[in-house]
Amino acid sequence: MGNRVAELDRAVESVLMQTDGDVEVVIVGNGADVPALAVAPRTGAASVRTVRIPDNVGIPEGRNHGVRECSGDVVMFLDDDGWYADDKLAAHIRERFAAEPDLAVISFRVMDPESGSGQRRHVPRLRAGDPQRSSPVTTFLGGACAIRRAAFLQVGGLPGRFFYAHEETDLAWRLLGEGYRIEYDADAVMYHPRTPPTRHTGFHRLNARNRVWLARRNLPWPLATLYLLNWILLTLLRERSAAAIRAWFGGFMEGLREPAGERRPMAWRTAWRMLRLGRPPIV
């Protein structure tokens, strides 16, 4: 957003310090000017390019724009308040994608730089108690991941209309339907300060609206019904704020009323595969 200059410098520097492989850096100003950087590319590294989108088009469409601007085989997404933990990450990612042609996404382990701990929501599986355990997963973290660019483009990228929330799950479900794998890799570490998701304006409304759109776009109707009923129940059990519940149900109704985009329900074999991976598409 252009208002975290020191953090952006730190993020870009952590990319430019990667020691093995060509790294191309594209900085997307999402409705904001990209500030001048204090860091410079190493000798032999690809130049840092900046792209400014006139309006804030949201997180998923901003990332789609960045993918269209780059040319690498693998895209690593990094928000301006995060940075990579060491200079071997790109080499590790490149080796995995080269050796595993059915691997579409690697989701990174996110650590708080001060405490060394992570947040449960950053481990993209139901059994999130041990963040140092790698495993296959059915979704991933959009700001802490690496994606095979060909697979990303094959399924149409991220759903731009979502603006914020659940866009990664939409993409993940479509990738799983094409037979790709998604892995949570505990050895791929990035740093990010501990922050609550509710810091985002409209979090509860967008969270609910996009859950409805996610179900309408991707699930057979019996599963879509179970998925949405399940999240209504979970929300009522978890939320203690009347204002948050009102916002959530307002977003839920918006998701029912507004167009969700192209409907491409997953095959039942994909749902079965997700069940075997430990997260059926009803939770």
**pTM for this entry:** 0.94
User: Which one-letter amino acid corresponds to residue 177?
Assistant: G
One domain for residues 101 and 240 = no
Q: What is the CA 60 to chain-centroid distance, rounded?
A: 8
One domain for residues 125 and 165 = yes
DSSP state of 122: G
Q: Give the tokens for residue 143.
A: 């700001």
Residue 53 has a pLDDT of 95
Residue 273 has a pLDDT of 97
Q: Give the tokens for residue 59.
A: 């997180």
CA–CA separation, 91 and 185 (whole Å): 14
Residue 98 has a pLDDT of 96
Residue 281 lies in a domain: no
One domain for residues 177 and 255 = no
Residue 117 has a pLDDT of 79
Choose one of 180, 195, 210: the last residue of a domain.
Answer: 195
One domain for residues 261 and 127 = no
One domain for residues 184 and 213 = no
Q: Are 67 and 157 in contact (CB under 8 A)?
A: yes
Alpha carbon distances (Å) from 249 to 80, 128, 142, 199: 31, 27, 25, 19
Three-state SS at 155: coil
Where do the DSSP E strands lie in 112-155? 135-136, 144-148
The residues pairing with 28 across neighbouring beta strands, listed in sequence order, are 51
Q: Dihedral (C-alpha) 168, 23, 57, 215: value to the nearest 10 degrees?
A: -10
Choose one of 148, 168, 195: the last residue of a domain.
Answer: 195
- Cα angle 193, 198, 7; round to 5: 30
One domain for residues 167 and 212 = no
Q: Are 119 and 22 in contact (CB under 8 A)?
A: no
**35 C-beta neighbours (distance < 10 Å), count:** 17
CA–CA separation, 132 and 150 (whole Å): 29
DSSP state of 161: G
Q: Among residues 144, 129, 143, which one has the least CA distance to residue 184? A: 144
Which segments of the chain have a pLDDT < 70?
Answer: 21, 41-46, 198-201
* Structural domains counted in the chain: 2
**Burial class, 7, CB count within 10 angstroms (exposed 0-12 / middle 13-18 / buried 19+):** middle
CATH number at residue 51: 3.90.550.10
Residue 208 has a pLDDT of 97
Domain assignment of residue 256, given as a range: 202-276
Residue 95 has a pLDDT of 96
